[in-house]
Amino acid sequence: MKLGIVGLPNVGKSTLFNSLTKAGAESANYPFCTIDPNVGVVTVPDERLKLLGDMYQSKKVTPAVIEFVDIAGLVKGASKGEGLGNQFLANIREVDAIVHVVRCFEDSNVVHVDGSVAPVRDIETIHLELIFSDLEILERRIAKVSKLARMDKNAGKEFSLLSRIKEHLEGEKSAITFECADEDEEVWFASYNLLTAKPVIYAANVGEDDLADDGVANKHVQSVREYAKGTDSEVFVICAQIEQEIAELDDEEKAMFLEDLGLKESGLEKLIKASYSLLGLLSFLTAGEDETRAWTIRKGMKAPQAAGKIHTDFERGFIRAEVVNYKDLLECGSLAAAKEKGLVGLEGKEYVVRDGDVILFRFNV
């Protein structure tokens, strides 16, 4: 999974990126301190892996990973060259979802580029810049396709699609709400890789005092939640400053620190839950002496396709899957004991994989 982090300057975007990835992106109290996109890879915390790894005494435990791409702070008019322009947006065209960091804290020591804290205004500023960037992509494609449209029926059909998407975006609507007429249009639409076609997770960045009640008393957080309802987006509350402190601690110290703050999970864990929920993802597991590993797939995926995530041969020569829930496996202490209790299912090609399934694939190529 790949997530792009966007936001206005000085909203805590790079501080959050640093704390999530410990990648050390420069962070300072002035705009545009992130000049090149920063990329960091984070492992997905998963207690199931450790427990299964201990049970099998695995030589290697491999968690799922998320790649974060942090780009320079955008400002109003970025698409027309204001600030650093929107040249960095190309770096997030390949991401699965966008994490939009929104400032929901008051602090006279941290300047706001627009002079005041107003999250919905800030969200709409970035939203428009993403739309302008998408329009630029569409206009280039329209120029190319329009020349072919007079002689080629297929190009004419694509030209019609491009014109409709352009009109949709010019109405300040995201591409994610655009409806394609048929499968051909869906294929073309996906190939444009539009930024506003990507799902959004809003990270409401608050002060420490607003963390314990998950921002319920913070009027800025409430306005972000209200806005997100209308766009089917996820919202999670985070304090980038606290996350930065957590990032320096080991697991035991982190647990104590979170408990002192009255928190059950870190911002990273909240973000991962929001991402998996928004993108419809789950993890199945494979376990053994050599390696215990988590594999991320989309909900609704069937056993052969899940097997293909491990190796294409597994999908091509799929025979069956031996499936047991990780809790049952841990309680029984071994796969043999789980089989004796009838807890291991022998599943065929139509089996839909569930979160927490521990699977042994049988295949023949």
Tokens of 108: 């006279």
For position 26, what pLDDT does the model report? 53
For position 72, what pLDDT does the model report? 64
CA-only gyration radius of the chain, Å: 23
Q: 25-34, 69-78, 179-188: lowest mean pLDDT where?
A: 25-34
The answer to whether 196 and 175 have CB atoms below 8 angstroms apart is: yes
Assess whether pLDDT exceeds 80 at residue 46: yes
For position 211, what pLDDT does the model report? 85
For position 269, what pLDDT does the model report? 85
Assess whether pLDDT exceeds 50 at residue 49: yes
The answer to whether 198 and 96 have CB atoms below 8 angstroms apart is: yes
Assess whether pLDDT exceeds 70 at residue 34: no
Enumerate long-range contacts of 162-167, CB under 8 Å, 24 or more apart.
162/138, 165/138, 165/189, 165/192, 165/194, 166/135, 166/138, 166/139, 166/142
Assess whether pLDDT exceeds 70 at residue 323: yes
Assess whether pLDDT exceeds 90 at residue 352: yes
For position 71, what pLDDT does the model report? 73
Q: What is the pLDDT of residues 145-175, one digit of tens each?
A: 998 888 888 999 999 999 999 999 999 999 9
For position 68, what pLDDT does the model report? 86
Assess whether pLDDT exceeds 80 at residue 356: yes
Distance CA 219, CA 118 (A): 10
Element (H, E) at 168: helix 153-170
Question: For 23-40, what is the mean pLDDT?
Answer: 55
Distance CA 348, CA 357 (A): 14
DSSP string computed for 327-363: HHHHHHSSHHHHHHTT--EEE-TTPBP-TTEEEEEEE
For position 31, what pLDDT does the model report? 46
The answer to whether 89 and 190 have CB atoms below 8 angstroms apart is: no
Question: For 11-24, what is the mean pLDDT?
Answer: 77
Taking the alpha carbons at both ends of the chain, their separation in whole angstroms is 29
Question: For 311-320, what is the mean pLDDT?
Answer: 95
Q: 247-251, 275-279, 297-301, 331-335: lowest mean pLDDT where?
A: 247-251
What 3-state DSSP class applies to 260? helix
pLDDT grade, residue 251 (50/70/90)? confident
Q: What is the mean pLDDT of the chain?
A: 87
For position 150, what pLDDT does the model report? 83
**Percentage of the chain with pLDDT > 70?**
89
Q: How many helices (H) and strands (E) does the chain have?
A: 13, 12
The answer to whether 326 and 52 have CB atoms below 8 angstroms apart is: yes
For position 37, what pLDDT does the model report? 60
Distance CA 238, CA 248 (A): 17
For position 85, what pLDDT does the model report? 45
Distance CA 40, CA 59 (A): 26
Enumerate long-range contacts of 214-219, CB under 8 Å, 24 or more apart.
215/104, 218/104
pLDDT grade, residue 69 (50/70/90)? confident
The answer to whether 71 and 4 have CB atoms below 8 angstroms apart is: yes
What are the residue ranges of helices labelled H in 171-193? 183-192
Distance CA 250, CA 236 (A): 24
Q: What is the pLDDT of residues 73-110, one digit of tens each?
A: 665 655 555 544 455 567 778 889 999 999 998 877 76
DSSP string computed for 139-157: HHHHHHHHHHHTT-HHHHH
pLDDT grade, residue 27 (50/70/90)? low
Measured in whole angstroms, the distance separating CA 28 from the mean position of its chain's CA atoms is: 25
CA atoms within 13 A on the CB side of 215: 22
